[in-house]
Chains A and B, each alone.
Chain A
Amino acid sequence: MNFTYAQPRTLAELLAQKDAQTHLLAGGTDLLVDTRSGKKSVARVLDIKAIPELRGIRAVKGGLQIGACETFTHLLRSPHLQKYPALRECASVMGCHEIRNRATLGGNICNASPGSESSVVLSVHEAQINIASRRGTRRVAYDDFTTGVNRTCLEPDEVVVSIFIPSAPRALGIYRRITRTAGMDLACWNGAALVFSPNTPAKREIRFAFGTVMSTTYRPRAIEAQLSRRPLTPADMDAAYEAICAEIQPRASSLRASPDEKRRAIRNFLNELLALLTPAPTRRQPTA
């Protein structure tokens, strides 16, 4: 490793210095690993953690605003996360304590790995990414933010300032992942669902998203629409599963899980979702 280091104190100072030759350092849990392994060649590092504009977890009109440099540990400890159970769950299983104490939500989305912990959750919540540069600000839907494996829509002079998550009152939110070991491991596969009006089939709106089955997060909107606003049967889930399998393209060369394992994970996820949404006399209705 051989680079220079600077620590801008304000967003304006950061934007004045950000260009194609500059790498941003938040928690460093991806950047330092990639620099050391030679995956990234880094000449100049800007440490952005101390910039106040990139911090804070705030309830704002219509949702939650999370500063790009907030760590997963801060997310877990924030009382606001109680209303965002899928996000809370993903923050609680990400990495391990020492990684969560450093790793940031902004770094997670900017690194854009296909199984990144927050991806599926931000997708079903239809999160908006607030981006700034010397040229001004813009807001991008999370699904348009990631453009490929380790690729985002950010221009070389742009930085992520915050992530806005629209609130989902009384929605059912779940996050699931599979890993190779019970301890720390990147997700081999992950999935999230957000269901509005879960107990009222006629009004129910179902969203779900899966990671590691495409180069970016897979959010099958047409299939969601077919499952929404109606009572659900096992046959509906079979049809949804078939339709999903026809669309996804899990890589056979993946080191972590085979395409079959990922399909099985999706099948289990759909079964669980059906069980949560189907009234059973002994089961309490999901509330959230």
Chain B
Amino acid sequence: MKHDIQLTVNGIPRNLTVTADDTLLRVLREELHLTGAKKGCGEGECGACTIIMNGEAIRACLVLAVEANGADILTIEGITPPNGITRVQQAFIEADAVQCGFCTPGFVMALEAELRRNPRATAADLRNALGGHLCRCTGYEAILQVTETLATSATRPKNTKKRA
């Protein structure tokens, strides 16, 4: 059975026709060609397909495309400001936390979601946000370094006025 859905993806309104059993992940990758989100396990275990839906990190392999009707979707392709990269992406580069890169969009989106919701996230909060993410290459040390960097910059933001 076909369903017509409307959703916003990275700020762009989209009208799509999907089947009832289509996953959001397949539609993002194969219809919209947003291949940043990866299919690792397809069953919620690895985190490679993580995107932000209505402000919350979710696993796109465990959400049907029809369930995203009306939703606001953000993928790794949509997080960068014009002419730049985000704090999270910068921290990944500085810590050299990428090897093959397959898991990286998932890790980045999980940290983006946490920091957008909780700008003062501690290193523990950020580590917690990565609890369901697997990486087969880096051994995690460099990725954990990212959480430390982000927590330090989150608790002491450069351009924020002190509260009275």
Contact = CB atoms under 8 A, between A and B. Distances in A.
A149 B128 CA distance: 30
A102 B51 CA distance: 13
Interface stretch (B28-36, B61-69, B72-80, B94-102): B61-69
A2 B21 contact: yes
A102 B54 CA distance: 12
A17 to B, nearest CB: 15
A33 B63 CA distance: 10
A37 B43 CA distance: 9
A129 to B, nearest CB: 25
- B interface, over-half SS: mixed
Interface residues of A, number: 26
B67 A98 contact: no
A73 B132 contact: no
Contacts of A5: 1, 3, 20-21, 64, 66
B58 interface: yes
Interface in A150-197: 183-184
A98 B50 contact: yes
B6 to A, nearest CB: 14
B131 A29 contact: no
Contact of A28 (B42, B67, B114, B131): B67
A243 interface: no
B126 to A, nearest CB: 11
B113 A184 contact: no
B105 interface: no
Nearest to B49: A98
Interface centre among A1, A2, A32, A37 (most CB of B within 10 A): A32
A268 interface: no
B64 A102 contact: no
Given A4-B20, A98-B57, A102-B58, A36 B42 contact: yes
B62 A29 contact: yes
A21 B67 CA distance: 20
B62 A33 contact: yes
A33 B43 contact: yes
A99 interface: yes
Contacts of A184: 45, 131-132
A1 B21 contact: yes
Contacts of B21: 1-3, 5
B110 A28 contact: no
Contacts of A36: 42-43
A47 interface: yes
Given A3-B21, A32-B62, A184-B45, A97 B3 contact: no
A237 interface: no
A107 B152 CA distance: 38
B113 A47 contact: no
A102 B1 contact: no
A96 B63 contact: no
A226 interface: no
Contact of B47 (A28, A33, A45, A98): A98
Nearest to A33: B43
A99 B59 contact: yes
Contacts of A101: 56-58
Nearest to B41: A33
Nearest to A34: B43
B44 interface: yes
B68 to A, nearest CB: 11
Interface string A30-57: 0011001100000001010100000000
A201 interface: no
A8 to B, nearest CB: 14
A49 B70 CA distance: 14
B66 A97 contact: no
Interface string A53-97: 000000000000000000001000000000000000000000111
Contacts of B58: 98, 101-102
14 contacts: A3-B20, A4-B1, A5-B21, A25-B64, A32-B23, A32-B62, A32-B64, A47-B67, A99-B44, A99-B132, A101-B58, A102-B58, A102-B62, A184-B45
Interface of A: 1-5, 7, 25, 28-29, 32-33, 36-37, 45, 47, 49, 73, 95-99, 101-102, 183-184
